[in-house]
């Protein structure tokens, strides 16, 4: 195992969604090198079986371990739901953080009047009941309303996050939530923060706060690295290297637009 503080942080998702986590980590930890894997050949994960998602996730984890990362961030709720334990087992002693835990922590920090939490996510995440388990471990009194929104990931991968089609799809998915008086709505898929402002607009005039786990997982990463004395103090500014399993040009376009910076490296890797 590497415990070199100059080693990169490994972050992964099925596609571009995990870049919402990358952006928050870059802001929180600007001196850290980051290696990102986006499984663009096999996205979306959220409509696949637990076994398939687990298989893909272990392949990516092994790839990141070969790159000698000092920590792994699971920037995919569907993977957190399907393969959290397996990833931790095969990565040990490299520490692992995941977005479901981060989203849970973030939502429980918010003010709580009605004890109602809404969750939107992929079919895999919502079907697994992972958020219910995670939230009820700390706060069994919470009422949880969840809904799968499978059309949002293809829209985000297409870059259609801010047009009338996205708005219409969001309105359909979110309609049931409006009357629920929720304290928070957790964006339980890392692609969904790309629609955050549209979703916030939808809840304008209600007391529902929209939560994404990216800032929370970035803060958890900072604490973890500090506690383990793994913060990179040598680097002037962190490098960002990306690996995808297909269509690098499209990924590069969306990634550079979203992050507002050039990628230092982008390679195709096919995993088995
Ligand atoms: N962004 C991922 C998540 O958080 C995966 C979405 C997908 O590939 O369906 O669940």
User: Looking at the domain assignment, is residue 4 inside a domain?
Assistant: no
> Could you tell me if the CB of 77 is within 6 A of ligand 1?
yes
Judge contact between 188 and 125, C-beta under 8 A: yes
The number of domains in the chain is: 2
What is the CA(121)–ligand 1 centre distance, in A?
A: 8
Question: Tell me: the pLDDT tens digits for 245-272?
Answer: 998 999 999 999 899 988 889 999 999 8
Q: What percent of the chain has pLDDT over 90?
A: 90
Length of the chain, in residues: 272
Is the entire prediction scored with pTM above 0.85?
Answer: yes
Give the pLDDT confidence score for residue 218 in this predicted structure: 98
Domain shared by 47 and 64, yes or no:
yes
Region of poorest pLDDT, from 26-30, 87-91, 182-186, 236-240: 236-240
Domain shared by 145 and 220, yes or no:
no
pLDDT level of residue 123 (50, 70, 90 thresholds): very high
User: Looking at the domain assignment, is residue 117 inside a domain?
Assistant: yes
User: Looking at the domain assignment, is residue 2 inside a domain?
Assistant: no
User: Looking at the domain assignment, is residue 92 inside a domain?
Assistant: yes
Question: How close are the terminal C-alpha atoms of the chain, in Å?
Answer: 23
> Could you tell me if the CB of 208 is within 6 A of ligand 1?
no
Domain shared by 62 and 32, yes or no:
yes
Active-site residues: which are they?
Answer: 76, 189
Domain shared by 94 and 132, yes or no:
no
Instruction: Give the CATH number for residue 75.
Output: 3.40.50.1860
Average pLDDT over residues 228-241: 90
Domain shared by 57 and 122, yes or no:
no
- Cα–Cα dist 186/87, whole Å: 23
> Could you tell me if the CB of 188 is within 6 A of ligand 1?
no
Domain that holds residue 143: 101-213
Domain shared by 108 and 192, yes or no:
yes
């Amino acid at each position: 195992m590497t415990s070199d503080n100059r080693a990169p942080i490994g972050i992964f998702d099925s596609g571009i969604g995990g870049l919402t986590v990358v952006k928050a980590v870059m802001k929180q930890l600007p001196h850290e090198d980051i290696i990102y894997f986006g499984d663009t050949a096999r996205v979306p994960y959220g409509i696949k079986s637990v076994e398939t998602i687990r298989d893909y996730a272990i392949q990516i984890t092994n790839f990141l371990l070969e790159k000698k990362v000092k920590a792994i961030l699971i920037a995919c709720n569907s993977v957190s739901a399907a393969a959290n334990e397996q990833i931790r087992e095969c990565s040990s002693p490299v520490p692992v953080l995941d977005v479901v835990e981060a989203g849970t922590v973030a939502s429980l920090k918010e003010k709580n009047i009605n004890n109602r939490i809404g969750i939107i996510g992929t079919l895999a995440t919502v079907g697994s009941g992972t958020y219910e388990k995670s939230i009820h471990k700390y706060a069994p009194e919470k009422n949880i309303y969840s809904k799968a929104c499978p059309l949002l990931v293809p829209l985000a991968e297409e870059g259609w996050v801010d047009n009338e089609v996205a708005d219409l799809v969001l309105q359909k998915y979110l309609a049931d939530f409006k009357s629920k008086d929720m304290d928070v709505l957790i964006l339980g898929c890392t692609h969904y923060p790309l629609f955050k402002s549209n979703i916030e607009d939808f809840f304008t005039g209600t007391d529902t706060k929209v939560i994404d786990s990216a800032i929370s997982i970035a803060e958890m990463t900072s604490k973890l690295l500090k506690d383990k004395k793994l913060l990179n103090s040598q680097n002037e500014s962190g490098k960002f290297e990306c690996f995808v399993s297909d269509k690098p040009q499209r990924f590069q376009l969306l990634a550079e637009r979203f992050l507002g910076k050039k990628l230092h490296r982008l390679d195709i890797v096919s995993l088995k």
